[in-house]
Amino acid sequence: MSYISVRPFLADGGRHNDSCKISTQESLKCPFCFKEIETQILDGILWTKVNSLQLFMKCKSCNNSFIGYANYNQGDQIYKISSLSRGNRNKRIFEKEIEELSANFVKIYGEAEIAENENLIEICGGGYRKALEFLVKDYLIKKFPPKQEEIKKKFLGNCIDEMIDNPKIKEIAKRATWLGNDESHYFRVWGDKDLTDLKKLIEITVHFITMEIQSENYMQNMN
Ligand SMILES: [Zn+2]
pLDDT at 101: 97
Task: Using the mean position of ligand 1's atoms as its centre, give its distance from the Cα of residue 164 in Å.
Answer: 43
Task: Using the mean position of ligand 1's atoms as its centre, give its distance from the Cα of residue 193 in Å.
Answer: 32
pLDDT at 132: 94
Task: Using the mean position of ligand 1's atoms as its centre, give its distance from the Cα of residue 107 in Å.
Answer: 26
User: What distance in Å separates the CA atoms of residue 163 and residue 173, rounded to the nearest whole number?
Assistant: 12
Question: Are 113 and 163 members of one domain?
Answer: yes
Task: Using the mean position of ligand 1's atoms as its centre, give its distance from the Cα of residue 62 in Å.
Answer: 4
Task: Using the mean position of ligand 1's atoms as its centre, give its distance from the Cα of residue 44 in Å.
Answer: 19
Last residue of a domain, one of 84, 118, 151: 84
Task: Using the mean position of ligand 1's atoms as its centre, give its distance from the Cα of residue 27 in Å.
Answer: 14
Q: Please, what is the Cα angle at 219 between 94 and 223, to 5 degrees?
A: 150
pLDDT at 155: 93
pLDDT at 189: 83
Question: Are 129 and 202 members of one domain?
Answer: yes
CB 131 within 8 A of CB 109: yes
Strand order of the sheet with strand 3-6?
Answer: 3-6, 20-23, 78-84, 65-73, 52-58, 41-47, 9-10
Task: Using the mean position of ligand 1's atoms as its centre, give its distance from the Cα of residue 131 in Å.
Answer: 30
Question: Are 120 and 175 members of one domain?
Answer: yes
Task: Using the mean position of ligand 1's atoms as its centre, give its distance from the Cα of residue 90 in Å.
Answer: 12
Residue 64 lies in a domain: yes
DSSP characters over 127-195: HHHHHHHHHHHHHHHHH-GGGHHHHHHS-HHHHHHHH---HHHHHHHHHHHHHHHHHHSSS-S-TT--H
Question: How many domains are there within the chain?
Answer: 2
Give the domain extent around 28: 3-84
The rounded average pLDDT for each run of 10 residues, N- to C-terminus, in the chain (223 residues) is: 92 94 90 88 94 95 95 93 87 93 96 90 92 96 96 94 91 90 84 88 94 94 87
Last residue of a domain, one of 45, 62, 84: 84
Question: Are 48 and 102 members of one domain?
Answer: no
Question: Are 80 and 144 members of one domain?
Answer: no
Question: Are 186 and 119 members of one domain?
Answer: yes
Question: Are 104 and 73 members of one domain?
Answer: no
Residue 172 lies in a domain: yes
Residue 90 lies in a domain: no
Question: Are 118 and 198 members of one domain?
Answer: yes
Question: Are 107 and 195 members of one domain?
Answer: yes
Residue 72 lies in a domain: yes
Quote the DSSP letter at residue 93. Answer: P
Closest to 23 in 3D by CA, of 85, 67, 84, 73: 73
Residue 74 lies in a domain: yes
Task: Using the mean position of ligand 1's atoms as its centre, give its distance from the Cα of residue 37 in Å.
Answer: 7
Question: Are 21 and 114 members of one domain?
Answer: no
* Region at 119 (left for phi over 0; alpha for psi -120 to 50; beta for the rest): left
Question: Are 74 and 131 members of one domain?
Answer: no
Last residue of a domain, one of 31, 62, 84: 84
Task: Using the mean position of ligand 1's atoms as its centre, give its distance from the Cα of residue 92 in Å.
Answer: 18
Question: Are 58 and 131 members of one domain?
Answer: no
Residue 89 lies in a domain: no
